[in-house]
Amino acid sequence: MESLRIPILKIGNVLIASIQTTLHDTSAVQFKDDLLQRIFETRARGLILDLTAVEVVDSFIGRLISDIASMAGLMGTRVVITGFQPAVAITLVELGLELQGVLTALNLEKGLAALQREIEESGDGTG
């Protein structure tokens, strides 16, 4: 089944993707592949994954988020996850998934600021 593609926006040297739809496993894997391809094509230095509208993160999606951060990191792109809802943060920790090593921020604005700092620290930010 064809699912709604999640738009991946580029602003300067940063990509922003906001998940506004319910991801089932296949569409989540497709989204991961799309993200990595876009990073490669755009040479983005940073990626923000916004989860403000996401109400359920189970172990599959949790692992996928962690994988995206690791894989983008291998490509030289820093990832910040923004907008975890309180209920999602609580269930993730209770589930046993703390997403260690994944950079997070309260919202998109704070995430963008954190990402710019990370990019500046890691050298040339011009992409």
Partner 1 sequence: MAQGKAAVIRSDLDIVIARTLARDTAKNMGFGAIDQARIATAVSELARNIFLYAGTGTVTVREVDRSGRKGIEIICEDQGPGIVNIDTVMQDGYSTSRGMGMGLPGAKRLMDEFDIRSQEGVGTTIILRKWRM
- What are the residues binding partner 1 (CB under 8 A)? 1, 22, 24-26, 55-60, 62-63, 85-88, 90-91, 94-97
- Which value, to the nearest 10 degrees, does the dihedral of the CA atoms of residues 79, 82, 86, 89 take? -10
Least separation in angstroms between residue 52's CB and partner 1 is 14
Q: Shortest Cβ distance from residue 105 to partner 1 (Å)?
A: 20
DSSP state letters, 7-39: PEEEETTEEEEE--SPPPHHHHHHHHHHHHHHH
| Residue number, 15 or 23, with CB nearest to partner 1 | 23
State phi, psi for 105 to the nearest 5 degrees: -145, 155
Nearer to partner 1 by Cβ, of 4 and 9: the residue is: 4
What phi-psi label fits residue 13: left (phi over 0), alpha (psi between -120 and 50 degrees) or beta?
Answer: alpha
Shortest Cβ distance from residue 112 to partner 1 (Å)? Answer: 26
When the beta carbons of 81 and 114 are compared against partner 1, the nearer one is 81
Question: At residue 103, what are phi and psi to the nearest 5 degrees?
Answer: -75, 130
For residue 95, the minimal CB distance to partner 1 (Å) is: 4
Nearer to partner 1, 40 or 60 (CB): 60
